[in-house]
Each structure stands twice: as structure tokens, then as C-alpha cells.
Structure 1
């Protein structure tokens, strides 16, 4: 069982996602649904992802964050902001090419007081597999290193 959670708030068109603890695959369905909700909002202006309390984050979650960045550029023409104060998380983001698709800042930014946990969502195995596959394909599209790192996983998922 994951010991992490994702919190969410919206204030005046600024959407904040705060990742706490160990953020893993089990939270991805709720994250994906929230990403869709953000970009169907009529008052969207920016997204901030707060990773200041994140201990670890898996590749599926990273792929969904890359999806969020792609949608933000398509719908609003801007790069979302990722806040990280931990060197290991910052290094992971840079190794995945996130410095090309996010504004990465190393100091906390003001955020709404009323963050609430994303609700858990039970998904069948096929839906989860599809989300994992989509997330990793997005990561592969960011750079050659990711393409190499996730090729075998994507091939295995596509042939199951």
C-alpha cells in the first residue's frame, strides 16, 4: 500500500497539486482524472506541482506529469511550474528531461490554504495498464535516454 497522497486546490485559475510521501501508481487514476478536470476548467491560468514533501515518485506518475505539461502548452501556451527542494527529486526530474517541459524552482511558492486529498479511484487492471502504457510512452517522447530506459517496459505492456 502506498504511503503517499496527492492534494489539490484551485484558486483564481491557479491549480495546485501537492505530492506528499511516496507517490506511486495507486494514485495515478485520481491524478489522471484531475488533470482532465484542470484542462476542462473555464478559468484555467496556470498549474503548480509542489514536490517539497515528496519522498519518491514513480515513472508512471512522472509520465502523467509530462502529460499535464503537454496539455498546458497546447491549451494555454505555458509551462507548468514544479517546486522541489530535495536534490534527489530535482536530479530525477532533470534526468527525465523535465527541465525542458516545466519551470523547475527550488524554493517554496505561495499556495492555497485549502488543499484536499484526491479521492481514491478503483480501476480494473486493464485501465491501470493503459494508464501505465500511456504515461511511459509520454516519457519516452521527452528524450532519447527515456526512450531507451522505457522501451522494454512499453514493448512488454503492448504485447500483454
Structure 2
């Protein structure tokens, strides 16, 4: 079972997602639902992704974060901010091309007590497969390295 969790807060149009521990596929449905919720908000000023307590993050979650950035730029013209204080996480983000679609900073966010855990969501295997496929297609679109890295996985998911 995953030892990670995602916390969420919204205050005055600033949306904060904090990833804690090992953030994996099991949290993707709740994350995707929250991304949809963010873009239905009327007052929108910023999105901050806090990875300061993230030990590891899988490619599906990274794909959903890329989706979040793409939607943010399309719908409100904002580049989201990612906060990371761990060299390995920062290196991973840069290797995935996230420095092109996020502002990456190394300062923790204020108000961690404002955050609440996202509820878990039980999804069918087919819905999870579709979300994994979407996330990896988004990652493939960020750069050639990602396209090569996830090509076989995407083909396998499309055949299933």
C-alpha cells in the first residue's frame, strides 16, 4: 500500500497541492478530480505544488502535474509553481522537462496547517488505465526523451 498522500488547500484564489511521502498511481484519481475542481473556480490567481516532503513520485503523477500546467496556461495564462528542496526530485523534474512548464523554486510555502488530505477514490481498473495513459501521453509531449521513455508503456496501455 502506498505510504503517500496529497494535501490540498485554497485561499483567496491560490491553490496549493502538497505531496507527502511516496506519491503513486493510487492517488491519481483524487489528484485528477482536484485538478478539474481547480479549473472550475471563479477566483483564480496561482497554483503551487509543494514537493518539499515528497520522497518519490511516479510518472503517472508527473503526467497529471504536466496536465495541470497545460490547463493553467490555456485557461488562465498562469505558469504554476513547484517547490522542491530535494536534489533528486529537482533533477527528476528537470529531466522530465518540467522547468519548461513550471516555475521551480526551493522555498517552502507558508501555511502548511491550512492543508487537508484529498479523499481516496475507488476507481475501476479501466478508469485508472485511461488516466495512466493520458498522463503518460502528456509527459511524452514535453520532450523527446520522455517520448522515447514512455513509448512502449503507452503502446501497451493503448492495446489493452
TM class, shorter-length: over 0.9
2: CA distance, partners of 1:103 / 1:111: 20
Counterpart in the other structure of 1:81: 81
User: Within 1, Cα distance between the matches of 2:9 and 2:109?
Assistant: 14
Structure 1 residue 114: deviation in Å?
1.7
Match of 2:102 in 1: 102
1:13 is the counterpart of 2:13: yes
Determine if the alignment matches structure 1 residue 33 to structure 2 residue 42. Answer: no
* Cα offsets for 1:22-64 (capped at 9, x unmatched): 0000000000000000001111111000000000000000000
| Residue ranges of structure 1 left out of the alignment (5+ in a row) | none
Provide the aligned C-alpha RMSD in A.
Answer: 0.7
Provide the TM-score with structure 1 as the length reference.
0.98
Task: Report how far residue 112 of structure 1 moved.
Answer: 5.5
Matched, 1:143 2:143: yes
User: Helix, strand or coil for the counterpart of 1:91?
Assistant: helix
The CA distance in 1 between the partners of 2:100 and 2:90, in whole Å, is 13
- Under a length normalisation based on structure 2, what TM-score does the superposition of the two structures give? 0.98
Are the counterparts in 2 of residues 16 and 111 from structure 1 also a CA contact under 8 Å?
A: no
Three-state SS of the structure 2 residue aligned to 1:40 is coil
